[in-house]
Amino acid sequence: MNYNDYELLDLIYDNDEVAYDIMLNKYKPLIYTVASKYYKYISYKNYTDVSFDDFVNEGFLAFDRALKNYDQDKGYLFYSYLLSCLNSCYVIMLRSLFALKNRPVLHFEDLDYEINDVSQIDPYDDINTLWFSDSLKDYLVNIDFIDSAILQLRLNNFKYREISQLLEVNSTRINRVMNKARKYLNGIDNYIFN
């Protein structure tokens, strides 16, 4: 027997697992198609930390959220609502993956390589002067390890609140570390440390 989306949704809201399976099987091709589109985009960017299965699983979560939040009284089809949910969840996923703060944080020992390698995508892409590289290297060697971690996290676009939670330090210390770094690296554009 064929059910339309509204009948299936009514059954799903009554906790009918068979109706849920029918609905999921009906929309699996859409989930796979949209996931494939975004996975191709991320593959084209040579980003290898996520797999196609990660995108599909995120699509299934979006499907569940769409079922939970769909309101048929608003006048749009479930298909349209699900498509919007899928696109939204994948855009958020891509933003999260490409955010500087979600890339691996620079390790203290690897800092020489990270600063001087201009071909690598990292927070130092805009910093191409030898003076800055040498000054920052010297500065990080001569400060406390926690202060060095604070500075590196800030250079990786972490907010003060996030640094405070990660390193269990107060915002006063973070502010002090950033001010000392600004004074030491006086010739650098201040936007790096803001």
Please say whether the beta carbons of 108 and 114 come within 8 A: no
pLDDT confidence of residue 1? 59
Domain check: are 174 and 116 in the same one? yes
Per-residue pLDDT of the chain (194 residues; tens, 9 = 90+): 577 888 888 888 888 889 889 899 999 999 999 999 988 888 777 777 788 888 899 999 999 999 888 888 887 888 888 888 888 888 888 887 776 555 555 444 444 444 444 444 444 444 444 455 566 777 777 788 888 888 877 777 778 888 888 888 888 888 888 888 877 776 554 434 44
Among residues 98, 131, 166, the one where a domain terminates is 98
User: What does the pLDDT read at residue 63?
Assistant: 93
Residues 52 and 93 in one domain: yes
Q: What whole-number distance in Å separates Cα of residue 10 and Cα of residue 130?
A: 65
- In terms of C-beta density within 10 A (0-12 exposed, 13-18 middle, 19 or more buried), how is residue 99 classed? exposed
Question: Does residue 106 sit within a domain?
Answer: no
Residue 105 included in any domain: no
Pair 125, 151 in one domain: yes
Instruction: Judge if 75 and 31 occupy the same domain.
Output: yes
Total count of domains within the chain: 2
Report whether 111 contacts 140 (CB < 8 A): yes
Q: Which of 63, 98, 133 is the last residue of a domain?
A: 98
Residue 77 forms part of a structural domain: yes
161 shares its domain with 122:
yes
What span, in angstroms and rounded, lies between the C-alpha atoms of 73 and 127? 53
Domain hosting residue 131, numbered range: 111-193
- If one counts every other C-beta atom within 10 angstroms of the C-beta of residue 94, the result is 17
pLDDT score at 100 = 59
Q: Are 40 and 29 in contact (CB under 8 A)?
A: no
pLDDT value of position 117: 42
Q: Are residues 120 and 61 in the same domain?
A: no
DSSP string covering 9-41: HHHHHTT-HHHHHHHHHHHHHHHHHHHHHHHHH
Are 10 and 34 in a shared domain?
yes
Residues 82 and 120 in one domain: no
Q: Select from 71, 98, 125 the last residue of a domain.
A: 98
The reply to whether 116 and 85 lie within a common domain is: no
**One domain for residues 16 and 91:** yes
Are 66 and 143 found together in one domain? Answer: no
pTM reported for the whole predicted model: 0.51
Domain match, 149 and 90 both: no
User: Shortest CA distance to 134 belongs to which of 123, 122, 145, 142?
Assistant: 142
CATH number of the domain enclosing 72: 1.10.1740.10
Q: Is residue 104 part of a domain?
A: no
